Structure 1
Amino acid sequence: MAKTILMVAFDFPPSNAASVQRTLKFFQYLNEFGWTTIMLTAKQSAYVHLDNSPPIKLNDNQFIYRAKAFDVMRHLSIRGKHFNWMKTPDRWGTWIPFALYKGKKIILQHKPDIIWSTYPIPSAHYIASKLSDYGSIPWVADYRDPAPYIHTTNGKFLDGIHKKIDDLTISKARKVIFATSATKDKYEEQYSESEQFSVIENGYDEDNFRKAKALEKSHPNIFSDGKFSLYYAGALYQEGRDPIPIFEALSQLKAKNEIDSSNFELIFQGAGDGTVFEDTLKQLNVDDLVSFIKPTDFLLAIVNMTRADALLLIQDERFNLQVPGKIYEYLGSNKPILIKTPEGSSTAQVANLYKCCLLFSNQNIYELILNTSIQQGFNKMEPSHLTGNFSRKDRAKTLNELLNSIIQT
């Protein structure tokens, strides 16, 4: 049976955003499961960071349509200033009219059987809701991340807007999918339990590791010979992913002569240029141990993961409901992983399945790390040997089954 899905997602290659892999693999693997997959996304000029990996190869029944979008921060600010309402419901909300126009043309041309949209850009759900109404097409809403008001705040005004979009989504979407059980539980507290809610977790894709392997010879090694290299890939936030306790621990390790610049390095990639931490690093006397390098393409980041001696993940209390997709790439690299996260977090629940993961929080970092040589501690840990159905293809298979159940009713 021919079946067609219209997918609405702001971030899609060549965007280098963290949400891309979940969307991309659904797009690719649903096509293998018999769907004509149509992506409605933004023009690449809207993306802050670009991934320079080779373009996606499309089959005859795969289509990508791009709508014009402006970034308030980069395109509509004057000397860095703009009105807050311009970021409603998000900083790329300008793509809404362009996406609706293009989406209606797609519906008339391709007649999709179902519409799927994904957070963390809330305008995608709003666009999907309107297109669902226009074509009388069932809609499935995916929450890679919860709306901010569920677990933190973006301010009273934006929280109110995001709550209205969630109200619209919960009332209209045939199915609502969450990336973690903890997020689903929070939404059930907000909206009551519902058979409408499902969980499809993130995962890792073995094909990405095969592609990364092919790039190893042509990609320079960012790590130093003779040093124990700890690697962090991705963004840092003052609230939510705070590395300062790590720096403090390194400072004490250095003071105890456990490590120095001749045998240890911590490299952050994609976390900015480190300027915001310069004074702290100097005060702690670890500026020679820690470096920040520019972002790289997704596949090259995997190359770096496989070359590092160990990997660092920071997921503080603000993100207790979420499990970063990056943890699955980390696990897939078969490296020891040092994870700063609260014991009860969703990330901790995944990490506790693996002996390769060393968990710590701000409260126990000194006892756990300072009293154990980093090199000795990690050398005793075992590779991950992923267990469970964590492949992206298996996740897409679950989504395929859910979609089939909708169009067959």
Structure 2
Amino acid sequence: MVAYHYPPMRGSSGIQRTLKFSQYLPQHGWQPLVLSAHPRAYANSGDDQLAEIPPEAIVHRAFALDTSRHLSLRGRYLGWMALPDRWVSWCLGAIPAGLRLIRRHRPQVIWTTYPIASAKLIGLVLHRLTGLPWIADLRDPMTDVDYPSDPLTRRVYRWIEAQTVKHCTLAVCTTPGAIVTYTRRFPRIPASRFALIENGYDEENFANAAALLKPAVPLTGRPFTLVHSGVIYPSERDPIPLFEALAALQAAGTVTAARLRIVLRATAHDDYLAGLIAKYGIGEIVSLAPHVAYRDALAEMLNADGLLVLQATNCNHQIPAKLYEYLRARRPILALTDATGDTASALRQAGIDTIAPLDDKNGIQAGLLRFLQLAEAGQAPLASHEAIAANSRRARTAELARLLEQVTVTVPNALKGTSEAC
């Protein structure tokens, strides 16, 4: 399992996908062999989830640097030193380390996961050198018309994307829209090469977080607290229309600090957002909060009066991994996203219709007021129990185990080890 996002890294919901797969795969007869990056490459690390790595897992952390932090001079570095990403040096450590691990443990499958493009390069090379079947966990589309924004980086990404889809045994996406994108982008690749494994939530993590819950406080006499937990990308989750809407509602006296409090937790872009909050004069309503341990973040979701989703139109074929945890928390959700995108579709399937467009100030005003009226009256829709149960990480791991069995059916005996490892 080639994964950059793995404990002790913190600050990304993407960590949970690999971590939970590695935690639950042994229950399906598969021993995880994890090839990750040296912790020095992580800008934010901690030990709060290290105990969740299963004892059966063999974890190797290969040499890796962050170009912007370790190879820059006064914050500047040559562009080629960050192609396809700032962690390209991980390839130098992970490819030879991966070959050693393959010789030693003789795994049956290589599994790599995005969103670090270098992981796909590592998987491609290991697959080509060993002939092992390769499941490429693409998650979301790697490229779009204007993504990545830099033309050279976009060309490199497109080459990696094309090589991955061409050579992998299976390509896994997290949304139906992503599969549609890829089948249209690569019409000569059989549709059977693409499979769907959505993201999810972990019930054990929520059970642990429940121990931190505080007694419920009635809304009377205090503001409604709306929490956004996780990264706010300036483009893919552009908050400017929301801030404009809040400024207009504040000026009209419809939404005040006495009625609403919005907490933006662990945004990864605090400096940028702080400037916008000051610009629009909404500091009494909107506040920034630092990263906390994962269990504490889940407890905050469970305690919040409501949860906020931001997802731009250019991510219509993506669903934030955090959304599945929001659904499990069973708190009212205000989703600012395109009504035709996969995020809105997933919410409607769960029975939630408190949705407004992220890029429309007027639409946000109307959607926010409707949401507040419903939530304050205790009438905001919550996720159905059926929808929640279908999205557990255990259920997702069972889906991955079936794919592992599928791709190993025709593997020559010479490539098989004494145990089922991936």
Both proteins in one fold, TM over 0.5: yes
**Aligned residue number for residue 403 of structure 1:** 404
**Aligned residue number for residue 3 of structure 1:** none
Does the 8 Å contact 2:23/2:52 carry over to 1? no
Q: What code does the residue aligned with 2:83 have?
A: T
Instruction: Decide whether aligned partners of structure 1 residues 284 and 159 sit closer, same or farther in structure 2, where only a CA change above 3 A counts.
Output: closer
2:11 matches 1:13: no
Does the 8 Å contact 2:213/2:303 carry over to 1? no
Deviations 1:379-409 (A, max 9, x none): 3213223424211111111111111012122
Distance in 2 (alpha carbons) for counterparts of 1:139 and 1:400? 14
**Aligned residue number for residue 198 of structure 1:** 195
Q: What code does the residue aligned with 1:406 have?
A: V
- Determine which structure has greater relative contact order: mean sequence separation of CA pairs < 8 Å that are 6+ residues apart, divided by chain length: 2
TM superposition shift of 1:152: 2.6
Instruction: Decide whether aligned partners of structure 1 residues 262 and 57 sit closer, same or farther in structure 2, where only a CA change above 3 A counts.
Output: closer
**Aligned residue number for residue 102 of structure 1:** 97
Does the 8 Å contact 2:264/2:287 carry over to 1? yes
Instruction: Decide whether aligned partners of structure 1 residues 276 and 145 sit closer, same or farther in structure 2, where only a CA change above 3 A counts.
Output: same
**Aligned residue number for residue 337 of structure 1:** 333
* Superposition CA RMSD, Å: 2.4
Distance in 1 (alpha carbons) for counterparts of 2:210 and 2:365? 37
2:211 matches 1:210: no
TM superposition shift of 1:371: 5.2
Does the 8 Å contact 2:200/2:393 carry over to 1? yes
TM superposition shift of 1:137: 1.1
TM superposition shift of 1:258: 2.9
SS at match of 1:40: strand
- The aligned runs of 1:8-407 (5 Å cut-off) are 8-16=2-10, 17-57=12-52, 59=54, 61-149=56-144, 152-192=147-187, 193-216=190-213, 226-272=222-268, 274-278=270-274, 280-361=276-357, 362-363=359-360, 365-366=363-364, 368-369=366-367, 372=370, 374-377=372-375, 379-388=378-387, 389-407=390-408
TM superposition shift of 1:151: 6.4
SS at match of 2:166: helix
Distance in 1 (alpha carbons) for counterparts of 2:46 and 2:344? 29
TM superposition shift of 1:200: 0.9
Instruction: Decide whether aligned partners of structure 1 residues 282 and 10 sit closer, same or farther in structure 2, where only a CA change above 3 A counts.
Output: closer
Identity among equivalent pairs (%): 31
Structure 2 unaligned spans of 5+: 411-422
Instruction: Decide whether aligned partners of structure 1 residues 121 and 289 sit closer, same or farther in structure 2, where only a CA change above 3 A counts.
Output: same
Distance in 2 (alpha carbons) for counterparts of 1:134 and 1:70? 24
Distance in 1 (alpha carbons) for counterparts of 2:199 and 2:47? 23
Does the 8 Å contact 2:201/2:392 carry over to 1? yes
Does the 8 Å contact 1:233/1:269 carry over to 2? yes
Does the 8 Å contact 1:36/1:62 carry over to 2? yes
TM superposition shift of 1:335: 0.4
Structure 1 unaligned spans of 5+: 1-6
TM superposition shift of 1:147: 0.8
Instruction: Decide whether aligned partners of structure 1 residues 274 and 88 sit closer, same or farther in structure 2, where only a CA change above 3 A counts.
Output: closer
Q: TM-score, normalised to structure 1's length? A: 0.91
Distance in 2 (alpha carbons) for counterparts of 1:214 and 1:73? 39
Q: What code does the residue aligned with 1:385 have?
A: S
Deviates more, 1:146-155 or 1:97-106: 146-155
Distance in 2 (alpha carbons) for counterparts of 1:263 and 1:81? 45
Distance in 1 (alpha carbons) for counterparts of 2:343 and 2:235? 17
Distance in 1 (alpha carbons) for counterparts of 2:110 and 2:261? 47
Deviates more, 1:58-67 or 1:158-167: 58-67
Does the 8 Å contact 1:258/1:373 carry over to 2? no
